[in-house]
Structure 1
Amino acid sequence: MTNQVSEVPERHEANTEAPTPDSEQPVPGTRDRWAARGLWSRWRPLLLRLHFYGGMFAGPFILIAAVTGLLYTLTPQLDGIVFRNELTVDEYAPQARSLADQIAAARTVYPEAPITSVKPPTVASETTQIAFTTDDAPPDYTRTVFVNPYTAQVQGTLTTYGMWLPIRSWFDEMHRNLHLGEAGRYYSEVAASWLSVVALGGLAMWISRNRRHGRKRLILPDRHRTPKGSRTRILSWHGTVGIWIVVGLLGLSITGLTWSRFAGDHIAQLRSELSWTTPSVTTTLPHTDGTTGAPGDPAASADTVLHSAQAAGLQPPMWMKPPAAPGDAWEVYERKRDAPTRFDAVAVDAATGAITDQSRFADWPLTAKLTGWAIDTHMGVLFGLPNQIVLALLALGLITVIVRGYRMWWKRRPTRSGLPTAPERGALTGLRPIEAAIAVAVLAAVGWLAPLFGATLGAFVLGDVIAGAIARRRKRIAS
C-alpha cells in the first residue's frame, strides 16, 4: 500500500478519531526509554519511514510500471487480429508440405541468415513460423517468416521477440525498460524491489490502525462516517484497496525481480545453489568428437527430427531449435504455457533421428514448476483471459493506491501555502539495540539481493541525515 502516511490530523480538518497507541511518543527522562513503549510503538516509526520513502521516491517508478503493465495486459489479443494474414491460412489441403520445403521457401527471404527456430503449426489453420537471426534485427529479436504449410508460400515476415509478435513485444519492452535499452531496466528494478517493502509496511500499519474496529473496517472503506474528500476518507480507500491487492503486489514484485538486471543475477545464483533451476536437455551428442553432426542445412533433417519428437510424445505448440555447432543435436521443446502446462523437451540426433536426451515436465522439481507458473501468471498467460483481467484489476488498484497516497501527503501540509512534511526522524533510535541491529541486518540482506533497493535506500538515508543536520544547525542559529 503505497505512500501510507502517519495519522496526524490535518490542521484544516477536525480530528474525529480518538488517540490510538500508534501515536504514542517516547517517555523522556526514563531510565529505559524503550520500556514504556510496546513492540508496535517502537517498530511503527521505522515502517512508516520506509513506507514514506518508498511511496514518495519510488512511487513514480511503481506508477509507471503499473500503467505500462496495464497496457501490456490489454494487448495480447491484438496480435491475432492485426496479423491474421501472417498467422492463419484460409484453405487447407489433405496433406501438408514437408518442413524441408517450407524452410526452403523461408530461405528465399533470408538466404544467408542462420535459422533460430522452427515452429510447426499448432492447429490446422496456422502457418509455420521460421525465425532467423539477422544483422538488422534489434538485440534479442528475430525476423520470423510465416509460411503456408500446404502450399509452402510465404505469407509475411515480422520482427518477433521470442514467442511474442510485434504489438505484444512492443508493450512488453515498454513495461520492461521503456524502450530505453539496458539503462531502462533500472526503472523496473527500482519499482519491483521497493514494491514489496512498501506493500508490507503499509499492510502492517493498516492492520494495526484497524485492530480496534474489527474486520469490516479493515477490508471495506468507511464511506459514511468521514467527510467526502477528507484525508481520513482517502486513507480509508487507500488502505482497503491495498488490503485487497497486497498478495498480488507481492507476487508481481518477486517475479518481476527475476527479470531485473542486478537482482535477477542474484536470484539466478540463489536458484542454482538451491537446485531450483529449470531443467533442460543436453544437446551435445555423446558419440561424436565434433567432426560429425555438423549443423549443415536444417531443411535436410527437420522432418526426421519432427517425427522423432512426435514419436517421443511431444505435442504442439512446440519449437525446434537447429544445432548451434558441430557435434550438437536438435533441441525440440514444448511451450504450452497456459494451464494445463506442458514443457517436455528432447534432443534429437539429426543423422539418425535418435533421442539422445530428454526432460519431462512431470519430473521437474516442484520449485521449478512453481517458479515457472508464477512467472507465467505475472505475464498473463497461465490462465488466459481471466489471468489478464486479474492483472488489469491489480494494476488499476495499484494506480489508485499510489494516487491516493500522494493526495494524503499533500493534505498533510501545515498551511495552504506550505509544503507537506515527512514523518519525524529517529526511527532507529526508538528501537532496542538488538531490534535496531535486526532491522539493519534485514535491510542489508534485502539490499544485497536487490542492489538498486539498497542503493536508493542508502541515498534516501544519506539525504535525510544531511537534511536533518541542516535543520538542526538552522534551529541552533535561530535560538
Structure 2
Amino acid sequence: MSVEPAVHTSSADPEAREPGDPPGRTTWASLRPLVLRLHFYAGVFIAPFLLVAAATGLLYAGSYQAEKIVYADELRVPVGVDELPISRQVEAAREAHPEGEISAVRPAPEEGATTRVMLSGVKGVDATHTLAVFVDPYTGEPTGTLEQYGSSGALPLRTWIDEFHRDLHLGQTGRLYSELAASWLWVIAGGGVVLWFGRHRARRKVRGTTGRRRTLSLHGTVGVWAAVGLFFLSATGLTWSTYAGQNVSDLREAISQTTPTVSAGIVSGGEHAEHTQSGGSGDAPGEDVGLDAVLEAARGERLSNPVEIVPPADASSAYVVRQIQRSWPEKQDAVAIDPATGEVTDVVRFADYPLLAKLSRWGIDAHTGSLFGPANQIVLAALTAGLIVLILLGYRMWWQRGRGSGFGRPMPRGAWQKVPPHVLVPLMAGVAVVGYFVPLLGIPLAAFLAVDIVLGEVAYRRGRRTYATGS
C-alpha cells in the first residue's frame, strides 16, 4: 500500500502471489498483494489495541455471572409469602438512607430477588452513578447498598470491568483506543478471510504442515470460523463509539430511525403546579397517587417485570415506567403516568420501534452479553478468546517470517501499482467514504500512507546515490 514510483518497487514477495498465477492475468492476482500488505501492517500495528480489547472483553463476558456470586447477599433473599407494597419498600430504604434524591425504583423482578431504590446526588458517589439501596420485598429490611451504573444496572465489579474495556479508566480520551480497535477489526478480519479463500485448497491444510505454514494455516482456520462474530463485534462496537457512533446517530436521525421515547410532559395544564417530586416515597408532602397506583397503572398496560419507575422530574412531568429486560424476548415498552390522576398519558411499544432502532438495541445487547443470557456470554468469551489466539498466531508468523532474526520482513511496496485503474479508482473512492464516516480508520490509514511514501522516497534516493557513487 504505497504510492511509491514504479521504478523503485521491490520485487514481489512469493507469498503475495499464488503459484501458477500469471501476473496481471486476473483482478484477484493484482489485488492480492495490496490486501496482503494492508492485512500485514494493520495486524502488526493495530493488534496491540485489539489484544487489550479482547482481553478486557473476555473479562466482561464473565462479569454477569461473577456479579451474581459476589453480590449475592444484596441481590437475593429467602422467598417469603407476600411482597410488601412498593411504597412501603421505598419508605424503608429512605428511612435507612435519607441522603440524596430518588432517581428510580426497580421492584423485585422475580421471587427471591431484592428491590432496588436508586439515589442520585449522594456524597461520595460518582455523578454519573447512583447509590442502589437493596430492600427485601417481603420484610422491607435493607440488605445493603452498592454503587450502580448504566441502564443495565451494573454493580461495582461489572462497572469496573466495563469501564476498563471501554476506556481503560482514562475517560473520554481512553475511548479512542476501543474505537480504533473496533474501526480496524472488520478490516483485518475481512482481509484475512479474502486471503484465506484466495489460497489454493491444498495450501489451506493444517494437518501435515510444519513451521510457518502450519502457523499460517491455524491462523487462517481460526480466523475464518470467527470472522462473522468479529464483524459483528466491530459493527456493534462502533454504534456507540465517540466519532463513528455519532455519525451513525446522525444517519439514523436523518432517516427517522431513532429510538422513540415516551413523552413525560403533563398535557393537562397547570393543575399539577403543587405536585412534588417525591414519587410517593415520603420525601415531601404533596398531591400524588403514589408508587403503588403508578405500578398498578403500568401493569394495566401489560408492563410485566422487570420494570423501572422514574419519578417526575419536575412539577409538570409525569412518572415514567419502563420495562428493562434486555434478554430475549426483549421487553422495552414504556408508559407515562399522570402523578395526580394515575392515568396513562403516553405509551411507547418496542414492537413499534423503527427497524434500525430495534437492530441497534439487539446488537448492543448481544455485544454486551445480555440478549441471550449465559449462552450469549459463552459465545462472546469464545470469540474474544479466539481473537487473542489469532493475534498471538499472527505475531508468531511475523517472527517466523524473519527466519529467527527477531522481526519479520515487511511486505514489499508498490502493491497498488498492480491493481488495474478501473478497480483501483472506485476502491480508493470507497475507502475515502468509509474513512470519512469511520475517522479512526481513515486517519490512521492516511497517516500510514504518508509515512510509507516518505520512507519509500528516502529509500529510493539512497539507492540512487549508492548507484551513482558505486559504493
Q: TM-score, normalised by structure 1?
A: 0.88
The alpha-carbon deviation at position 117 of structure 1 amounts to 1.0
Q: How does 1:113-192 map to 2 (within 5 A)?
A: 113-134=100-121, 135-162=123-150, 163-192=153-182
> Does residue 1:361 correspond to 2:350, yes or no?
yes
The alpha-carbon deviation at position 290 of structure 1 amounts to 8.9
Assess if the C-alpha contact under 8 Å between 1:290 and 1:326 holds in 2: no
Cα deviation, 1:208-230, whole Å, max 9, x if unaligned, reads: 113x54xxx75xx4211x12xx1
The alpha-carbon deviation at position 170 of structure 1 amounts to 1.6
Q: How does 1:371-390 map to 2 (within 5 A)?
A: 371-390=360-379
- The amino acid across from 1:264 in the alignment is G
> Does residue 1:272 correspond to 2:253, yes or no?
yes
Assess if the C-alpha contact under 8 Å between 1:290 and 1:327 holds in 2: no
CA distance 1:38–1:233, shift in 2 (3 Å): same
The alpha-carbon deviation at position 340 of structure 1 amounts to 1.9
Residue in 2 that maps onto 1:281? 262
> Does residue 1:85 correspond to 2:66, yes or no?
no
* Rounded Cα–Cα distance in structure 1 between residues aligned with 2:98 and 2:361: 36
CA distance 1:139–1:420, shift in 2 (3 Å): farther
Q: How does 1:204-223 map to 2 (within 5 A)?
A: 204-210=194-200, 212-213=201-202, 221-223=205-207
CA distance 1:195–1:20, shift in 2 (3 Å): farther
* Rounded Cα–Cα distance in structure 1 between residues aligned with 2:13 and 2:126: 50
Match of 2:221 among 237, 240, 262: 240
The alpha-carbon deviation at position 335 of structure 1 amounts to 1.6
Assess if the C-alpha contact under 8 Å between 2:327 and 2:372 holds in 1: yes
The alpha-carbon deviation at position 18 of structure 1 amounts to 7.7
* Rounded Cα–Cα distance in structure 2 between residues aligned with 1:180 and 1:455: 21
Residue in 2 that maps onto 1:476? 464
CA distance 1:473–1:418, shift in 2 (3 Å): farther
Cα deviation, 1:115-155, whole Å, max 9, x if unaligned, reads: 22100011131111011112532242211111122222211
Assess if the C-alpha contact under 8 Å between 2:277 and 2:314 holds in 1: no
Residue in 2 that maps onto 1:404? 393
Match of 1:335 among 324, 330, 333: 324
Q: How does 1:249-260 map to 2 (within 5 A)?
A: 249-260=230-241
Q: How does 1:99-110 map to 2 (within 5 A)?
A: 99-110=86-97
Unaligned runs of 5+ in 2: 1-11, 282-287
Number of aligned residue pairs: give it: 445
* Rounded Cα–Cα distance in structure 2 between residues aligned with 1:431 and 1:233: 30
Assess if the C-alpha contact under 8 Å between 2:167 and 2:177 holds in 1: yes
Assess if the C-alpha contact under 8 Å between 2:130 and 2:148 holds in 1: yes
Assess if the C-alpha contact under 8 Å between 2:278 and 2:311 holds in 1: no
* Rounded Cα–Cα distance in structure 2 between residues aligned with 1:183 and 1:139: 19
Q: Identity, % of aligned pairs?
A: 44
Match of 1:428 among 405, 416, 437: 416
Residue in 1 that maps onto 2:299? 310
Residue in 2 that maps onto 1:344? 333
* Rounded Cα–Cα distance in structure 1 between residues aligned with 2:41 and 2:124: 43
What secondary structure does 1:182 align onto?
Answer: coil
Assess if the C-alpha contact under 8 Å between 1:293 and 1:327 holds in 2: no
Assess if the C-alpha contact under 8 Å between 1:128 and 1:146 holds in 2: yes
CA RMSD of aligned residues (A): 2.2
Assess if the C-alpha contact under 8 Å between 2:13 and 2:412 holds in 1: no
Q: TM-score, normalised by structure 2?
A: 0.89
Cα deviation, 1:322-358, whole Å, max 9, x if unaligned, reads: 1222211111111221112221111111111111110
Cα deviation, 1:74-122, whole Å, max 9, x if unaligned, reads: 221121122111112225143x333222222222454341222100011
- The amino acid across from 1:89 in the alignment is V
What secondary structure does 2:241 align onto?
Answer: coil
CA distance 1:289–1:467, shift in 2 (3 Å): farther
Unaligned runs of 5+ in 1: 1-5, 11-16, 26-35
* Rounded Cα–Cα distance in structure 2 between residues aligned with 1:258 and 1:290: 42
Residue in 2 that maps onto 1:97? 84
Cα deviation, 1:142-169, whole Å, max 9, x if unaligned, reads: 1111112222221100011121122222
Assess if the C-alpha contact under 8 Å between 1:144 and 1:158 holds in 2: yes
- The amino acid across from 1:123 in the alignment is E
Residue in 1 that maps onto 2:427? 439
